[in-house]
Amino acid sequence: MIFGRSERGKPPVEPVTLKILVAGGFGVGKTTLVGAVSEIRPLRTEELLTEAGRPVDDTRGVEGKHTTTVAMDFGRITLREDLVLYLFGTPGQERFWFMWDELSEGALGAVVLADTRRLEDSFAAIDYFERRAIPFHVGVNCFEGAARYPAEDVRRALDLDDHVPLTMCDARDRESVKEVLIGVVQHAMAQAAQRRAVTT
């Protein structure tokens, strides 16, 4: 099936649409992740880094970065003919965090993208989703030249609860990103099922 059309003789399928956030620190690869999987040309709100922002934009570890997201990234991916994900990449710098509340409205779950060279930049996003009980999946973006660590070591360093999934990934690779997104959906559905079981 082509999105929006059905094969001859088959009734059209009305897809379920789910909203997923992509969050994490400055320069961790959120825009790259959205662009790697989006089946439409991603909407990007990037601006050039300026001298005025130098005192507040920590570029250690990402010295080659020259632009930054100032509002959001937006993309879409069809996982199955009846399941479409809308991806919203959040801005990474603290001065744009006020937008997170708007972007998280109605979200099924989130990807927290982490960089082992700057793990501390992931704590704000992890805290945000934990406080709001939004299910999240940690994707550790394996940058070229960065040291590789066992997943359990990264989990301990991030102080993650046992039920929070963590996956090593490459934000540039479509299949790698799809695995993370499927993991988010599965984790969110499992959390919702647990909540329903408690209330019945």
Domains by residue range for the chain, with CATH: 16-199 (3.40.50.300)
How confident is the prediction for the chain on average, in pLDDT?
83
Note the pLDDT tens digit of each residue in 151-160. 999 999 999 9
Q: What is the pLDDT of residues 113-163, one digit of tens each?
A: 999 999 999 999 999 999 999 999 999 999 888 888 999 999 999 999 999
Q: Which of helix, strand or coil describes residue 97?
A: helix
Percent of the chain with pLDDT over 70: 77
Q: Write out pLDDT tens, residues 5-29.
A: 455 666 677 889 999 999 998 889 9
The answer for residues whose C-beta is within 8 angstroms of residue 73's C-beta and 6 or more apart is 22, 30, 31, 34, 35, 42, 43, 44, 45, 87, 88, 89
pLDDT at position 112: 97
Q: How far apart are CA 180 and CA 155, in angstroms?
A: 16
How does DSSP classify residue 108? Answer: S
- Tokens read off for 41: 């040309």
Token digits of residue 103: 């972007």
Report which secondary-structure segment, H or E, holds 24: strand 16-24
Is residue 85 within 8 Å of 18, Cβ to Cβ?
yes
Q: Would you tell me how many other CB atoms lie within 10 Å of the CB of residue 167? A: 16
CA angle 105, 163, 190 (to 5 degrees): 60
Taking the C-alpha atoms of residue 177 and residue 150, their distance in angstroms, rounded to an integer, is: 19
Distances (CA, A) of 139 to 80, 177, 193, 197: 22, 9, 23, 28
**Cα separation of 89 and 97, whole Å?**
12
State pLDDT tens for residues 59-68: 555 555 455 5
* Count of Cβ atoms closer than 10 Å to residue 85 Cβ: 24
- Chain-centroid distance of CA 189 in Å reads 17
User: Three-class SS of residue 193?
Assistant: helix
Scanning the structure block, which residue is given the tokens 């708007």?
A: 102
Q: Answer whether residue 55 shows pLDDT above 70.
A: no
pLDDT of residue 178: 94
What is the helix (H) or strand (E) element at residue 32, kind and residue range? Answer: helix 30-37
